[in-house]
Amino acid sequence: MSFLKVSHPIATSANSPYAAIANEEKRVYAMQFHPEVQHSEEGYLMLRNFARNICGVTEKWKMEHFLKEQIKMIREKVGTGKVLCGLSGGVDSSVVAAMLYEAIGDQLIPVFVDNGLLRKGEREQVQEVFKINLKAPLVTVDAVDNFLGKLEGVCDPEEKRKIIGHTFIEEFEKEAKKHDGIKFLAQGTLYPDVIESISVNGPSEVIKSHHNVGGLPDWMDFELIEPLRELFKDEVRKIGLELGLPSDMINRHPFPGPGLAIRIMGDVNVPDLTILREADVILLDELKASGYYAKTWQAFAVLLNVKSVGVMGDNRTYDNTVCVRVVEAVDGMTATFAHLPHDLLERISRRIINEVDGINRVVYDISSKPPATIEWE
């Protein structure tokens, strides 16, 4: 193809982050700009115009069509077999479980694995929510000792993720042996997980491994079912509403599969998990009380394992630092830090320092994605 003439450059400065070329006659357009990555106010409009006005795509497809197609495909694939669904209590796995129950009913065996890396009270919350909103009986597996034993002394984040992923698979296999006819394993894998975990046909690098990406080990005689693998989080929430799941369940903030293990810098141990849980619940309580939980994408605390000198009363302290991370996003591929009111940040900091033993300093993460990721590890 011949060289395309620059017809309407968006900017001409040598420091401009974008440039454009066009050939109106051939209807060929190109842009050195990523509207979905750089936080452009017009990014969505640019992508929409390209799809509709240049590619001629019509807006006939709806999420309800996707849901019907997936339910039909699941029924055809599963047949008379049974499906073990790994349930975390988060949005993704809950939506998968609801889809599977709609498709195959009692052939679904939902399994919730308590890995010891959950937030405060999460096991009880998951059991209660599942009992009320989903009809299939939930199997709960206590695997705390197994996970924490394998993570002992492990500091590298990639190694943590891989250990947790492998241990989940082992626990699912153990549970599957207790039931006859299980031929499939279902997971709530999303497209952002795939993008960050796998370099697909290009120069992009693996950002970080996700425990539910990469297939199953050769020794496992299961087929994977991942109906959400090509969707983003906002699309999954729409499917959840289509399935009749309650909005408070669907609009929960994302929680990573590796749990609190990737929110503790360094070794994962019971004392640090206890400290982090207490700090995290204070953060979420204050966000919900102020109305900012519903306005933000994700919020959590990170235990930095960096100590500093402080003063508590008349005493010198040398305690840990917690980082508060709150971001705004649409699909999780990009994010900006939330501009929380100073009085809210002050209240969060004061409560964490006063109420959580072992913490004397709170910092706020003002990094965006990119260049940072949402999670720290």
**Local confidence band at 203 (pLDDT 50, 70, 90 cut-offs):** low
The pLDDT of residue 19 is 61
Q: With a cut of 80, say whether residue 124 has pLDDT above it.
A: yes
More confident residue, 364 or 1: 364
Distance CA 350, CA 198 (A): 41
The pLDDT of residue 25 is 81
More confident residue, 233 or 203: 233
Q: With a cut of 90, say whether residue 10 has pLDDT above it.
A: no
Element (H, E) at 191: helix 191-197
Q: With a cut of 80, say whether residue 12 has pLDDT above it.
A: no
Q: With a cut of 70, say whether residue 2 has pLDDT above it.
A: no
Mean pLDDT of 321-337: 93
- 220: tokens are 């496992």
HSE of 85, CA atoms in CB hemisphere, 13 A: 32
HSE of 369, CA atoms in CB hemisphere, 13 A: 21
Q: With a cut of 80, say whether residue 16 has pLDDT above it.
A: no
Q: With a cut of 70, say whether residue 197 has pLDDT above it.
A: no
Choose from 133-137, 225-229, 330-334 the range with maximum mean pLDDT: 225-229
Q: With a cut of 90, say whether residue 343 has pLDDT above it.
A: yes
**Local confidence band at 176 (pLDDT 50, 70, 90 cut-offs):** very high
Mean pLDDT of 114-129: 92
Please write down the long-range contacts of 337-342, taking CB distance under 8 Å and 24 or more positions apart. Answer: 337/364, 337/365, 337/366, 337/367, 337/368, 338/292, 338/295, 338/296, 338/299, 340/292, 340/364, 341/290
The pLDDT of residue 202 is 53
The pLDDT of residue 282 is 98
Mean pLDDT of 29-33: 70
Q: What is the pTM of this model?
A: 0.79
The pLDDT of residue 122 is 92
More confident residue, 54 or 175: 175
Q: With a cut of 60, say whether residue 107 has pLDDT above it.
A: yes
Distance CA 183, CA 78 (A): 8
**Coil/strand/helix, residue 148:** helix
DSSP per-residue letters across 103-126: HHGGGEEEEEEE-S-PPTTHHHHH
